[in-house]
């Protein structure tokens, strides 16, 4: 019951105390935004560019990314850079991290913003994982793991001693916990609905915060709010048009993650969970359980050890 009430509360947030005008000058910061070719990721990239950051648009489609980069240039004057990244293919994730490391020696903020919601349940990643779990959790885990040495080195030389990993979760995680036997294709997975599989793929994870907080990593998962984007592309159009009546604009959608990734005071929020707009909020109790965090981390490590 508590989880349902919390979800309802997060669906109709009160006015934000944080505004994009509060973002400091980001000149000299190097930032990756996954899924920045559209939606919340693109809006995030736009605001970061407008504040002087060097921004990588990490996207699976070069064509879509180039259109987005041109739009971003037209609206901000800033030139974002393309990084080819398919989170549903672990070899592509490795290639993306290697390409980034070959070009940059620092990474101030990694926004793990890309995501997929409610695809047909028989869709799997290139490596045979549930598409939602494989893209939203495993792909981002591996990308982050490969970039951790760069993030830690950046933190060591940063004036505030920090580098940030901001992960776009969802209030959907309040309704469905992790089912380890459904991460890969399996009879257990086949019994789950697309929305339950989405819920588990948006789990709020705190293990990165526990393991790397002492090395200067600030890890903040968050719910961006209910936002009108392409995310509902797999839903029937009638349901989508009803849903759209209750959604906020994409500028609101980027606010909470921009706060987590840029506000000077947010470096104190390692291991907290944010809700709209830019506030600390609740998660499922089991998401906070360190035993679950360790079990998930070890399971994920096992999957990527031979890529």
Ligand X SMILES: NC(=O)c1ccc[n+]([C@@H]2O[C@H](COP(=O)([O-])OP(=O)(O)OC[C@H]3O[C@@H](n4cnc5c(N)ncnc54)[C@H](OP(=O)(O)O)[C@@H]3O)[C@@H](O)[C@H]2O)c1
Which residues contact ligand X by CB under 6 A?
A: 35, 37-41, 59-61, 64, 85-88, 113-117, 135, 168, 170, 202, 223-224, 226-227, 229-231
Over the Cα atoms of the chain, what is R_g? 18
Q: Which helix (H) or strand (E) holds 163?
A: strand 163-168
Question: Which is nearer to ligand X, 155 or 192 (by Cβ)?
Answer: 192
Question: Which is nearer to ligand X, 86 or 108 (by Cβ)?
Answer: 86
Active-site entry in 29, 46, 162, 202: 202
Residue 291 burial class via C-beta count within 10 angstroms: exposed 0-12, middle 13-18, buried 19 and up:
exposed
Active-site entry in 6, 142, 162, 169: 169
What gap in Å lies between CA 298 and CA 111, rounded to an integer? 22
How far are the Cα atoms of 12, 51, 71, 264, 279 from residue 24, in angstroms, in the given order? 28, 7, 23, 8, 18
Question: Which is nearer to ligand X, 123 or 153 (by Cβ)?
Answer: 123
Active site residue 198: yes
How far are the Cα atoms of 105, 228, 252 from residue 65, in angstroms, in the given order? 23, 20, 22
3-state helix, strand, coil in the chain (%, to 5): 50, 15, 35
Active-site entry in 56, 129, 142, 198: 198
What gap in Å lies between CA 67 and CA 69, rounded to an integer? 6
Question: Which is nearer to ligand X, 61 or 186 (by Cβ)?
Answer: 61
Active site residue 181: no
Question: Which is nearer to ligand X, 155 or 287 (by Cβ)?
Answer: 287
Active site residue 184: no
Active site (catalytic) residues = 169, 198, 202
């Amino acid at each position: 019951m508590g989880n349902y009430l919390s979800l309802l509360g997060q669906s109709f947030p009160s006015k934000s105390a944080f505004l994009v005008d509060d973002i400091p000058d980001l000149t000299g910061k190097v930032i990756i935004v996954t899924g920045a070719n559209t939606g919340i990721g693109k809006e995030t990239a736009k605001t970061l560019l407008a504040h002087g950051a060097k921004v990588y648009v990490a996207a699976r489609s070069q064509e879509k990314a180039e259109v987005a980069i041109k739009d971003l240039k037209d609206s901000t004057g800033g030139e974002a850079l393309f990084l080819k990244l398919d989170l549903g293919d672990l070899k592509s994730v490795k290639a993306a991290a290697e390409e980034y490391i070959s070009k940059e020696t620092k990474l101030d903020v990694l926004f793990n913003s890309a995501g997929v919601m409610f695809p047909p349940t028989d869709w799997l990643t290139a490596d045979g994982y549930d598409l939602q779990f494989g893209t939203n959790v495993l792909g981002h885990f591996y990308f982050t793991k490969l970039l951790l040495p760069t993030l830690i080195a950046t933190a060591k030389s940063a004036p505030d001693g920090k580098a940030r990993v901001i992960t776009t979760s969802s209030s959907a995680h309040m309704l469905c916990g992790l089912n380890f036997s459904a991460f890969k294709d399996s009879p257990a997975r086949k019994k789950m609905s697309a929305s339950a599989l989405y819920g588990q793929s948006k789990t709020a994870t705190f293990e990165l915060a526990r393991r790397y907080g002492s090395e200067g990593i600030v890890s903040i998962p968050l719910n961006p709010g209910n936002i009108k984007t392409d995310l509902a592309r797999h839903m029937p159009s009638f349901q989508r048009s009803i849903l759209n009546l209750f959604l906020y604009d994409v500028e609101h959608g980027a606010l909470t993650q921009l706060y987590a990734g840029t506000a000077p005071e947010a470096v104190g929020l390692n291991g907290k969970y944010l809700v709209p707009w830019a506030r600390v909020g609740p998660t499922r109790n089991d998401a906070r359980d360190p035993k679950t965090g360790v079990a998930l981390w070890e399971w994920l490590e096992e999957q990527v050890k031979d890529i």
